[in-house]
Amino acid sequence: MIGSRFSSPHIAAAPVFLAAMLLPLSFTGGVVTTPAIAHELGGSPASLAWLTNGFMLTFGSFLLAAGVAADLTGRKRVLIGGLALFTLSCLLIYPAGSTPMAGVLRAVQGMAAAMTLAGGSAALARLYDGRARAQAFSVLGTLFGTGLAFGPLVTGTITGQFGWRGVYLLLALLSGVALLTGALFLPDSAKQPRQKTDVAGIVLFSAGLILFTLGIMLIPDRGLFSPVVIGVFTAFMLFTAGFVIRCQRAEHPVFELSLLRHPRFAGVLLLPVATCYCYVVLLIILPLRFMGGEAFSETKSALFLLALTGPMLVLPSFAAFLTRWHTPGVISVIGLGVSTVGLLLLSQVMQSDNSAMLILAMFITGAGAALPWGLMDGLAVSAVPVEKAGMAAGLFNTVRVAGEGIALAVVMAFLAMVNQRGLMGAVTGYPPGAIKHAATWLGGGNVEQAARLLPAVSRQVLMATYNHAYSLLFYGLSMITLLSAWGVWKTLIQQKEQPKM
C-alpha cells in the first residue's frame, strides 16, 4: 500500500492539517457569502441565517457521535468519509438555485465537518507520541487560527472577484486534495476491541442540543411564548432529563457527570463559553454589519475584520510562553478581562462613525480572546484525573463547538428582538407584522431590505435603531465575558491557591 511506503507521520498528518484550515474557511465562507447569495437567490431572513446557523447546528450536534464512530469504526474511515461528504456538499452548493437548498447543503457540511474534526483529531493523536504529539496539536491549533484570521479575507476576495459560487468551488478543491492525500498516506487504524457504546445517550444528547438551538432560533419569528417555541423547549427539557438519567444509570455512559464535580474542570468549560461570546460570534455579526449596514465590499469588510482576527496568529503562542511565570488560569482571566474592555469600547463605537476607534476596539477584543485560546485544551485534560482525560477532552470540544452554535442563535435572536422593540417605538403607520419582518432583516444586517419594507421611514431612524441594538448587544457580551472571567478566577485560581489539607 502507498500509505505503508510513505510512513512519515508528517506526510500522514498532512490531510489533518489541511482540514484544520478548511473548516474555518467553511465557517467564515458561509457568513461572507450570505449577502451575495441573498442578492442572487433571495430568501427569507431565516433561510439566509440558516446558511451559518445550519452549519453550526449540525457541526456541534454530531461531533460527539462522530467521535464515538471514530473510535469504533476507525479514525481514518471517519476522516475520509467526512472529507468525501464535505467535497460532495460543496460541489452540490455550487449550482444551487435556491437559498433553502443551499441551507440544507450547509447543514450537511456541518455533519461532514464534525466527522472531519473528530476523525482528524483522533488520527493525529495516534500518529504522534509525547512531546511530538503536543507540538502536532499546537500546529493544528495554529492552522485553525490562521484559517479563522484569513478566512474572511480569502472568501471575501474570491466572492468579490468570482462570485459566491467560487468560494464553494475552492472549498471543494481543498477538501478533495485533503481527501486524496488522506486516502493515500494516512495509515489504517488498528482495530479496536469491541466496546459497549451508549447509543441512547448519544441520541438523547444530540436531539436535546438540536431542539435547544432550534428553539432559540424560532423566538424572533414565533415569539418566546408561542406554542411552537414552548413545545420545542419542553421537548428539549425532556430529552435533557432523559440524558442525565441515562448517564447516571448506564454502565458505560457517553459522559461521566462526575467530571463536573471537579471545580477546576467546570471552570475550564467556562473558557470556550466565554470565547464564543467575545470572539466567535463577532466573526459572524461584524461582517454582516459591515456589508449590510456600512455597505462595505466583501474585501473591505474582511480587511477590517483582520483587526479582530490578527492577534489570534501570535498571541496564543505568547500566552504559552507566559506560562513560565504565570499559571494558565491567571493568563486566561487577564485575557477575558481585556476582551471585556474591548467589547465595552465596541458598545460605544457603535454609536459613532470613528473607524480608528472601531479598529482599536476589535484589536483589543481579539487580543484578549487569543490569550486563553491556546491554553484551553491543555487545561481541559489537566483538570481531571489522567484516566479520564480522553472523556474530558471530548466533553470540552463538544461544549466548545456546540456552544458556538448556541451563542450564534442567541445573538441573532437578541438583535432581532431589540430591533423590533426599537422600531415599534419609533415607527407608526405600519402593521406590526411589517415592522417585525423589517426588524428581522435589520437583525441579520440587511438595512436596505428593511428600508424597502418601511419606505416611509427615514434611513436615519433605521440606522439609529440598528446601532442601538448593536450597542446593547456588545454591552451584554461584555457582561457575559466578565462573569465568565469571574467564574474562571473562582474555580481555576482560588481552587489552586487553597492550601492542601
CATH of the domain at 361: 1.20.1250.20
Residue 2 lies in a domain: no
Q: Both 461 and 484 in a single domain?
A: yes
Write b or e for each residue in 17-30: b if 16 or more Cβ atoms lie within 10 A of its Cβ, otherwise e.
bbbbbbbbbbbbbb
Residue 191 lies in a domain: no
- If we measure between CA atoms, which residue out of 219, 221, 291 comes closest to residue 34? 291
Res 6: pLDDT:
43
**How far apart are the C-alpha atoms of 409 and 395, rounded to whole Å?**
21
Residue 192 lies in a domain: no
Q: Both 235 and 279 in a single domain?
A: no
Dig out the grid coordinates for 78 from the structure: 471517519
Dig out the grid coordinates for 106 from the structure: 450547509
Res 134: pLDDT:
62
Dig out the grid coordinates for 212 from the structure: 435547544
Dig out the grid coordinates for 133 from the structure: 504529539
**How far apart are the C-alpha atoms of 434 and 226, rounded to whole Å?**
19
- If we measure between CA atoms, which residue out of 256, 220, 208 comes closest to residue 46? 220
- If we measure between CA atoms, which residue out of 29, 348, 353 comes closest to residue 174? 29
Q: Both 220 and 99 in a single domain?
A: no
Report in angstroms the alpha-carbon separations of 352 from 190, 339, 466. Answer: 59, 20, 12
Q: Both 363 and 455 in a single domain?
A: yes
Q: Both 105 and 213 in a single domain?
A: no
Alpha carbon 246 to chain centroid, angstroms: 28
Q: Both 91 and 163 in a single domain?
A: yes
DSSP string of 438-493, one letter each residue: HHHHHHTT-HHHHHHHSTTS-HHHHHHHHHHHHHHHHHHHHHHHHHHHHHHIIIII
Q: Both 92 and 165 in a single domain?
A: yes
**How far apart are the C-alpha atoms of 213 and 27, rounded to whole Å?**
17
Q: Are 59 and 113 in contact (CB under 8 A)?
A: yes
Q: Both 340 and 413 in a single domain?
A: yes
Report in angstroms the alpha-carbon separations of 322 from 313, 332, 373. Answer: 16, 11, 13
- Domain closes at, from 225, 253, 281: 253
Q: Both 313 and 424 in a single domain?
A: yes
Residue 453 lies in a domain: yes
Residue 46 lies in a domain: yes
**How far apart are the C-alpha atoms of 121 and 399, rounded to whole Å?**
16
Residue 246 lies in a domain: yes
**365 φ, ψ (degrees, to nearest 5):** -65, -45
Report in angstroms the alpha-carbon separations of 148 from 20, 229, 370, 472, 476. Answer: 10, 33, 12, 26, 24
Q: Both 355 and 437 in a single domain?
A: yes
Q: Both 114 and 59 in a single domain?
A: yes
Alpha carbon 303 to chain centroid, angstroms: 20
- If we measure between CA atoms, which residue out of 448, 446, 450, 447 comes closest to residue 436? 450
Q: Both 413 and 310 in a single domain?
A: yes
Domain region containing 455: 262-495
Residue 206 lies in a domain: yes
Residue 476, sorted as left (phi over 0), alpha (psi -120 to 50) or beta, turns out to be alpha
Three-state SS at 105: helix
**How far apart are the C-alpha atoms of 164 and 32, rounded to whole Å?**
9
Res 279: pLDDT:
92
Res 5: pLDDT:
41
Number of domains in the chain: 3
Alpha carbon 363 to chain centroid, angstroms: 19
Neighbouring residues of 256: CB distance < 8 A, sequence distance ≥ 6: 247, 388, 391
**How far apart are the C-alpha atoms of 64 and 118, rounded to whole Å?**
8
Residue 1 lies in a domain: no
CB atoms within 10 A of CB 261: 9
> Each residue's pLDDT tens digit in the chain (501 positions)?
444 444 466 777 788 888 888 888 888 777 788 888 888 888 887 788 888 888 888 888 888 788 777 777 777 888 899 999 999 999 999 888 888 899 899 999 988 988 888 888 777 777 776 667 666 766 777 777 778 778 888 888 888 888 889 989 999 999 999 899 888 877 776 555 555 667 788 888 888 888 888 888 888 777 778 899 899 999 999 999 998 888 888 777 777 777 777 777 778 888 888 998 999 889 888 888 888 777 788 788 888 888 998 888 888 878 878 878 888 888 889 999 999 999 999 999 887 778 889 999 999 999 999 888 877 766 766 656 655 555 666 677 778 888 888 888 888 888 888 888 888 877 777 888 888 888 888 887 788 888 888 888 888 888 888 888 999 999 999 999 999 999 888 887 766 544 333
Residue type at 135? Answer: Q
